[in-house]
A and B are shown apart, each in its own frame.
Chain A
Amino acid sequence: MRTWFISLGVMLHLSITGFAATPKLLNPKQLTRILFIVDGSQSMMNAWDRSSRMGEAKRILGALADSLAVLPNVEMGLRVYGHQYEQSLNNCRDTKLEVSIAKKNATLLKKKLDLIKPKGITPITLTLEKCANDFPAGPGRNVVLLITDGVESCGGDPCLVATNLQQRGIILKPFVIGLGVVEDITEGLDCIGQFKNAPNALAFEQIIQTIIGNVLSQTTAEVDLLDTLKQATETNVNLTFYDSQNMLLKYVYYHQMNARGKPDTLHMDPLGKYNLTVHTIPPAELNDIAVYPNQHTPITLSTPQGSLRLSTSSKLPVKCLIKKTGGLNTIHVQNFNTTERYITGSYDLEVLTLPRIQFKQVLIKQTQINTIQIPAPGTLNIERNEEGYGGVFYMKNNNWVKLYELKYKVFTESLNLQPGNYRIIYRTKNNHKMKQTLVKDFTIKSNAAVNVVL
């Protein structure tokens, strides 16, 4: 799979005439929508290289549109600003979606490009706001490519709008290409997205090729889950990747080893950064992971794991609360007679039997199975023939602890109790003297029943 990159790299060395070469998309299902936003303000008429800035933009974008048109899962659209009203009118609402985002619209797009006569001002902020509605709903990656020779001239904050659109998951981080923008104003464009300034037409051509190449490429990564020896041997755990900009879910992969025993190669969109959750117990997380086009990225997390086996001869369901030693929160609830993997370390267990059983500082070691065994419970049957008050007690750390409160009106009760010595303290409702309290001691053995008549 990795050899693919080399060929993609070669293919992306496109000349203008060579745009027809088709970059092979790795995930053919993934739809990419590209909205070209082109500056139609008056300054675009300024001479640049062989013609004007607008002239060069028309030529280069036109060729690009032709080559993108043949790709199966790419849609294009065109929005232009500053092209409808004269500069002197100072129209800050001069922005228009000239070509809706759709398939097979290269001809229309070129025709509309040709018709643009730059004349107005530069309302970038409003343009970005409007472009939110330019993208059809449905799954896909929405890419904004802004081509401009100036900064916002209507007093808006394009950076705020761009960030907001990303956070709402509407667009990916925009690409901004400056056409001969003077150095001291580039800051106003830099914050909108990935900004590159083209001093001449040739540079513009190269920049736009690289961007489109990156947009349409996927890159690869592998997730190296390290054991205690820092070897990437941990696997068979689910991974979820999120766009770190807006926390939208991007990929769900069960981590696997390939036939060579190495972590499997994962294809990823190089646009954007990722947050990753490895669904171990407790989960491991890594944020702001950058992957780069045409470059295999190893993502490394330390997730050394061992196993905890909870075992009892009883078939009754028993739950066990698991906490990190010294921690306040339950990180997992494991059922008895199961084995689960945990990140290595020290855990405190509390088994919800009657009485509860605590195991402190249970060590989970790399690859090893730590087995915790508890005896099967016995059964206590309590019978009585009138209402009363009392409970079942046991001795813990030299104190009598109430385990179970007898139900006032239930005359037959049955409890599963761990083997041990117990005591019932009980007084019927009609005995009004404390010394009429009945105290009964009994011993519970595994898999045996004790009947107590009160």
Chain B
Amino acid sequence: MQRLLFLLIVLISSTTTLVAQSPTRILFLLDASGSMNQKIDQESRWKVASRLLYNLADSLEKKHSPVQIAVRVFGHQSPNATHNCEDSKLEIPFAKSSAKAIQHKLKSIHPQGYTPIAYSIFKAAESDFPTDKNALNAIVLITDGVETCGGDPCAATQLLERKRISLKPFIIGLGLQDSFIQKFNCVGPYFDAKTSSGFNLILRSVVAQIMNTTTLQINLLNAAGEAKETNIELTLCDAYSGDLKFAFVHAKNEFGISDTLRVDPIGKYTITAHTFPPVILKDVVLTPGRHNVFGIDVPQGSLQLTITGTSTPMAIGIPVSCVVRKSNQVDIVHVQDFNGSNKYLTGEYDLEILSLPEIEMRGVLIGSNETKNITIPASGNLNVFFQTTGMASIYTTKLNRWQKVYDWGNVKTGAYELNLQPGEYDIVFKSSTKIGSESTYTKHVVMESGKVIRVKL
């Protein structure tokens, strides 16, 4: 800090992006393949779907709901015999939608063709939604059959998720066989409508679900599985792009319940609780219009690092670091300085204390809500005065063999200082004024905590 620093004051802006739930857009993918002419309750499937969609649009309009509707129809432009797999068209875009326009448009359509579901989802993802990052986009697929064009609706859905274009499509099936229903598992939640009144009910509830706010509650669990932990930083990132969507410090309300967040339910999240090491919840999918609760296990204990005894004046202010790793793992979890305390997830850790010599402690157990105390003695200060130039190094004995603690390399005439842990050492000095290896000189020194040892070589 004594150095002259160019002082830079940075203007800082808050980047938290909480979701404003407006507007909501629902795109209906409406099946107009030949089979839609079949009847349910004396009326063709197509007519039932058209009528109920109109009713829905009408009632939303009358309630001045912020929900916008668009309709993409497939299988209506070319007859079955032409095998047209690109028969899909956005008939009513979001901007122009109105109940009347929907009623009018759908009346003019006659189901006749194929069922290119995947193609329609791709098309919808490509261009149907206005580019407005704040909007909640949803797709509702109304169909009486499965993909007939060899497309992969699952892949199409993944694209939606990856690009955060819309929620996973809701599927309303009209008289689908059970074996077909399974094919929609990967696409999104499936609802089966067997009667026209049933269809109406499902349609209304799907829309209600889309319109309801989606909330998220993250419970931070202690070792007993209780939601008692808090004050940990949480980040919610897009599972595909890694983009940070939300960043919070976990909090609890006055009743001790984890705070609830309103969140964008579209896409997949990676939720990280930033403990040491972090706990990561991958591929988190939220149910739209619901209260979503996730528990993250973050049982923690503390590691208290303390230097005991009095340090020499030379050692004060020089921090001793401790490298903390999970036992038998290469990756560093954290580097913690003496003296101080830091929280870690419970478990076994290997400590590498970067004193001279290094101190290794393996399998240090940090228990839940416990403080593990690790103490090392204060170093002593070795002051070596070399009377000639030469080469010098210092050793400690481990398992009967000398281990190099520090290498001065080539030394000049003068004093050299080293902070060393208490213990016995051997200094080796080869003066450059003497010839031959056999002029190597060794000096045994005993270091004590907080003491200065002076050696002339």
Contacts and interface: CB of A to CB of B under 8 A. Distances in A.
Interface of A: 236, 238-240, 242, 247-249, 252-256, 258, 264-267, 275, 277, 279, 281, 283, 315, 317, 319, 321, 323, 328, 330, 333, 340, 350, 352, 356, 379, 388-391, 393, 398-402, 405, 414, 423, 425-427, 431-443, 445, 447-452
A450 B10 contact: yes
29 contacts: A236-B391, A242-B400, A253-B440, A254-B440, A277-B401, A279-B407, A333-B354, A352-B323, A352-B335, A389-B231, A389-B233, A389-B249, A399-B270, A400-B272, A401-B274, A402-B274, A405-B342, A425-B233, A432-B254, A434-B251, A435-B16, A437-B16, A438-B16, A441-B13, A447-B5, A449-B7, A450-B10, A451-B7, A452-B12
Contacts of A240: 395, 401-402
Interface in B126-161: none
B244 to A, nearest CB: 6
Contacts of B270: 399
B10 A442 contact: yes
Mostly, the A contact residues are strand
Contact of A350 (B318, B332, B403): B332
Contacts of A400: 235, 237, 244, 247, 272, 274
Nearest to A263: B437
Contact of B249 (A248, A256, A437, A442): A437
A283 B395 CA distance: 13
B259 A433 contact: yes
Contacts of B242: 398-399
A440 B14 CA distance: 6
Q: Give the interface centre of A315, A393, A400, A445 by most chain B CB atoms within 10 Å.
A: A400
Contacts of A254: 391, 428, 430, 437, 440
A329 to B, nearest CB: 9
A238 B248 CA distance: 55
Contacts of A443: 10
Contacts of A433: 251, 259
A95 B13 CA distance: 94
Contacts, number: 183
Nearest to A27: B438
Interface in B1-41: 1, 3, 5-10, 12-16, 18
A240 B428 CA distance: 10
B433 interface: no
A401 B278 contact: yes
Interface in B335-369: 335, 342-343, 352, 354, 358
Interface in B407-439: 407, 409, 426, 428, 430, 436-438
A435 B248 contact: yes
Contact of B438 (A253, A431, A451): A253
Pick the 6 closest A-B CB pairs, nearest first. Answer: A398-B242, A427-B249, A254-B430, A247-B400, A253-B437, A389-B231
B300 to A, nearest CB: 12
A212 to B, nearest CB: 25
Contacts of A283: 403-404
B130 to A, nearest CB: 27
B404 A279 contact: yes
Contacts of B252: 432
A200 B178 CA distance: 107
A333 B442 CA distance: 24
Contact of B248 (A242, A405, A425): A425
Contacts of A333: 354, 358
A435 B254 contact: no
A330 B12 contact: no
B253 interface: yes
Mostly, the B contact residues are strand
Contacts of B7: 448-449, 451
B393 interface: yes
B82 interface: no
Interface of B: 1, 3, 5-10, 12-16, 18, 231-235, 237, 242, 244, 247-254, 259, 261, 270, 272, 274, 276, 278, 318, 321, 323, 328, 330, 332, 335, 342-343, 352, 354, 358, 391, 393, 395, 400-404, 407, 409, 426, 428, 430, 436-438, 440, 442
Contacts of B391: 236, 238, 254
A252 B428 contact: yes
B15 A439 contact: yes
Nearest to A235: B437
Given A238-B393, A391-B233, A399-B242, 8 more contacts: A323-B330, A393-B274, A400-B244, A414-B1, A425-B248, A427-B251, A449-B6, A450-B10
Nearest to B258: A434
Contacts of A248: 400
Q: Give the interface centre of B5, B247, B261, B395 by most chain A CB atoms within 10 Å.
A: B247
Q: Give the interface centre of B15, B235, B261 by most chain A CB atoms within 10 Å.
A: B235
A452 to B, nearest CB: 7
Given A247-B401, A440-B12, A399 B272 contact: yes
A230 B10 CA distance: 58
Nearest to A255: B437
A50 B203 CA distance: 127
Contacts of B253: 432
B233 A442 contact: no
A438 B13 CA distance: 9
B402 A402 contact: no
A31 B36 CA distance: 111
A425 B352 contact: no
Nearest to A252: B442
B12 to A, nearest CB: 4
B404 A238 contact: yes
Nearest to B280: A399
B342 A445 contact: no
A240 B321 CA distance: 30
B341 to A, nearest CB: 10
B428 A402 contact: no
Contacts of B330: 323, 328
B296 to A, nearest CB: 14
Q: Give the interface centre of A240, A391, A423 by most chain B CB atoms within 10 Å.
A: A240
Given A238-B404, A389-B231, A425 B321 contact: no
A1 to B, nearest CB: 9
A391 B274 contact: yes
Nearest to B6: A448
Contacts of A445: 8
Contact of B358 (A252, A330, A431): A330
Contact of A439 (B1, B14, B250, B251): B14
Contacts of A451: 7, 9-10
Nearest to A436: B251
A239 B391 CA distance: 13
Given A340-B407, A350-B332, A352-B335, A256 B436 contact: yes
Contacts of A264: 436-438
A439 B401 contact: no
Contacts of B8: 445, 448-450
B12 A442 contact: yes
B429 to A, nearest CB: 8
Contact of B276 (A390, A402, A423): A402
B278 A402 contact: yes
B354 A277 contact: no
B274 A432 contact: no
B338 to A, nearest CB: 14
B12 A441 contact: yes
A330 B79 CA distance: 72
Contact of B401 (A242, A436, A450): A242
